[in-house]
Amino acid sequence: MNCGPSEIFYVRYGLTAADGVAEVASIGGYVKEYQIDVDPDAMKANRITLDR
């Protein structure tokens, strides 16, 4: 997925707005990459799957 600066802003904003997200940090050079560490117990309690 190729994202410009405005798309990256909205992805970061959306992730940061989610409950339980401590930090959103983009890593990498030309191509941005996001890493998400999930809490399986919290996801199960809220009936959220990684497919969603």
Please state, as a whole number, how many other Cβ atoms lie within 10 Å of the Cβ of residue 19: 6
User: What pLDDT is attached to residue 48?
Assistant: 86
Nearest to 18 by CA among 44, 45, 40, 38: 38
What distances in angstroms separate CA 31 from CA 14, 25, 38, 44, one per listed residue? 19, 13, 23, 32
Break the chain into its structural domains and give their ranges.
5-45
User: What pLDDT is attached to residue 11?
Assistant: 79
User: What pLDDT is attached to residue 38?
Assistant: 84
pLDDT in tens, 1-49: 566 666 677 778 888 888 878 787 766 666 767 777 888 898 889 888 8
User: pTM of the predicted model, to two decimals?
Assistant: 0.41
Question: What is the distance of C-alpha 7 from the center of its chain?
Answer: 13
